[in-house]
Structure 1
Amino acid sequence: MRKSMKQEAANMRSQNLYDVDFHQFVEKEHMLSNYELAVEFGVTLESVKKLKRQIHR
């Protein structure tokens, strides 16, 4: 099945979240702001927000 460029870009963005150590993220999410988490783990601010939403489901 073919993928469009848009689908591939979305897939690449979602895969970048898996480079984050989830145990460290959970430990630090209560102490740090979203911006500080993004800088700490080297991801975008939007990725931090998405990850928090997924964790709290």
Structure 2
Amino acid sequence: MRSGHSQNDKTRQSGQFMNVDLHRFSVQEDTRTNFELASEFGLSLHDVKTLKKKMGRN
């Protein structure tokens, strides 16, 4: 099924990316390892690294 621009806009407005609450992720990223973040949010390690890169953090 295709997703259009309106669906992408709604996703950005809700503060989520890759079905992750970005605020919660940013709060926990300072105190947790990539492995812990991956387990907490149901992501792979690669997804955690990608998300940090897209957020402008290393």
TM-score, normalised relative to structure 1: 0.67
Structure 1 position 18, deviation (Å): 2.1
* Structure with the bigger percentage of strand: 2
TM-score, normalised relative to structure 2: 0.66
Give the superposed CA RMSD: 1.3
Q: Indicate the structure whose relative CO is greater, using CA pairs within 8 Å and at least 6 residues apart.
A: 1
* Structure with the bigger percentage of helix: 1
Over 4 Å off, 4+ runs: none
Unaligned runs of 5+ in 2: 1-16
Unaligned runs of 5+ in 1: 1-16
